[in-house]
Chains A and B, each alone.
Chain A
Amino acid sequence: MATDPQAAAGQRTVEALAAKLRRRQVVGSRESALETALVLRQVVSKARFQNINQLVEIIRSVGRKLIEAQPKEHTVGNTVRRLLHHVREEYDNASKGEATTSANEFSIANFVLQGQPRRQVAEKEAESTLVLKEDDSDDPDSFSRTLKPVVMEAIQDILDDLETVYDNIAKSARDHIHSDEIILTVGRSKTVETYLKSAAHYHKFTIIVAESGPSYGGHDMARSLSSAGISTFLVPDSSIYALMSRVSKVILGAHAILTNGGMFAITGTLLAATAARAHSTPIMVCAGQFKLTPLWNLYHEYGALDFADPSGVLGFEEGDLVDKVDVVNPYYDFVRPDLVDVYVTNEYASGIIPPPSMYRLIKESYDDEDNEL
């Protein structure tokens, strides 16, 4: 398989993305997810496999490589996991309706066992397949021929999902934001931006944007929101506490949401969230489902242990200081689950959930066996 020239081409695209991720040319959760999905599409379209395990292994190996290149872009792994979930689902469906016996209704009682029955089913199905011919020695391509279009469709679904994620999240904006509210947000998040703009169609409200140094993404955010006709105030990060007493709601973006309901988000988020807690101001986090990460033990004293270029904090214009001072410029803050009131994701009905229930949504989105790729 590896000697296959087509598969080699697929590997090259993987390597290219891995390099980009490593060099931080692809940053941001959505962009990483998008790039990953595109690479997966390319790899799967060229891959040759004879049974489900081979296909899963191919996808997983892509995931492993990309995650190894940039373990902090959690959406890479999430996209891979989501695809695996879809693949298994399609496979189960195609290989007979019996997989559905594992019951779709969710109750706490059988919830813990979710995912367990299916594996047994899958193994049993391997022989009884009618449509799918695995390991067919006469026609080795028959399996991939049948399954590939389905998998490609699944990837397309993921891509479509990523395209529409902002609008889907924004659907609930109207219900959550009221007239005359003063809303604080930190830095720039495309999700929050779309959310607020969508709410602006129905209500008039005021937004305070903390600029979030040293990236100062808040400037772009403020510019964009104000040009959409929303009354916007741009403030330095230092005045978050001072203004918090007048803020009625804090709406934040996320980088990754973890199973325990905590999240990684741009630096400054923790400050805003803590200040909001101190003032008992509700905190909403808007994030697409591709940010749900089935991991939980990632936080560390040093934010996300991921540091950006220090020149943004202390540039070379401070020549005599640069080599004598440690400069810390982390990308992300870890925000504990108790600081967040609600997550708004792109599933309208069930997507608005409090942090303690986050594990459920994550369990529904991925298969347990993929938590470690």
Chain B
Amino acid sequence: MKLKHLALASLAATGLAAGTALAAGTITVITSYPDLMTGPIEAAFEAAHPEYNLEILNKKTSAGVKYLQEIAGDNTADIFWASAPDAFEVLKNGDLLARVEIASEGIPEKIGAYPLNDPDGYYFGFAAAGYGIMWNERYLKAHDLEPAREWEDLTRPEYHGHVGMSAPSRSGTTHLTVETLLQGDGWDEGWAKWKWIAGNFATVTERSFGVPDGVNTGNFGLGIVIDFFGFSSRASGFPVDFAYPTITALVPANIAVVKNAPNAQGAVAFIEYLLTPEGQSVLLDPAIMRLPINPGTYAEAPEGFPNPFEDSSIGATVKFDVEKSGARYNLVNSMFDVMITYRLDDLRAAVGAIRGGREKARRRRQCRGHGAHCRGPRPDRGQPDRRGKKPRSRFHLGLHQEAQEGHRHRRGPPGRGRAGMGCDGGRKLPPRPRTGRQGRRHVTGLPARTGPATPPPSPPPDGEGIRAPGEGDTECPAVIPRPSAAAAESPIACRVGWCPTCRACIWSRPSSRFC
């Protein structure tokens, strides 16, 4: 250090508080929490205990665990401070935590259905967190969507491509979210629901903060996040909001003293301070916004801040089983990655295809008795051309074609506001961004449509739509580029665009460039 301080002394006239450490010394804290959270707590603690100096070391939860394992032989850290209880279980089982006595007052035993502290006394809860859905109000307004408030809502087709989430293997908090739903709905049901939700994903982010970040910037509309991301984003002024679904668990965020800590006394002092009313009220700082575990602190909370000690509906339905979660920790992470993260494109296509098929069946029923405008191309307009290229999707041929047809029924002119027309069923499906191949066009036998007021055609019989050009067909004169993401209606988006004459979707087959 000396060398560097000499070098820095000339540069940094006002260095940080490095030199101010007093007799009781420095407490080294390994934490996954960001500076803006630790900063106010550090300031409050150092004001209350001027004899201590807090040294914060920011690492991701998993990196922090690894760091402690690496330095265990010659430990320099005093405190480990993170959200995920699983990480503390790993450290506890690895004999890397110290068992200490913490004196506190007014802290209940449990929050929701979850015990706050480790029964063996190795780690302690200092705040609580639940999981839920956060959304960008401007984004939803632009796409004419309602906020999703339950997990079930996120499986609905209108959210296709609008949802973001992190992967449980990269983020301890996301792991808890996945695990909560699995425990709340059961293993099979839970995974089924996750796969349906994942079919609506726009992306799986690498960091858990990538989700609130994506929602804040409007990169996607809804995110599955831990509550304080929603509250603090809102407190920072972003046009976002957050809701707890019914199936959620309140889980304590924890803190522990590392084994063989150089300053164990200071570490205990810091934890005790965190649990005092003053320490708890710092959690309500706009940049932090975590649920305090001292019920008295909620008196100071801002309007609309949830109070789990009064509102018993939050987190009451799931009794989070931390042992079960710990036992299958790696399994759940790997399954999520293998089924969802690395196969997201396929999963999205599959979910879109299934919905396309269902939609088609539904519409066909609905169109019965609707009259000519609802009918598809005349059956004598030729047979589908299946000699074309192999479908590009890796999926089963049948699914693929079904998807195309399911899509085709909703073809129409580009532009906004097509929801609610004729047989469309009012579905408004989100963008399906992809790089289109230019110049391939799609055939239908439909007459030109004049405007959005004309009702859309009804679905053709199975297999209709892609056919060899026949006599009397004219080549599509031009292609309207792919419409805006907001107006592209099908989960399997029209790849290239619309023919301005016949309003047909220009799909991707060589045989499809005639009207």
A, B co-complexed: no
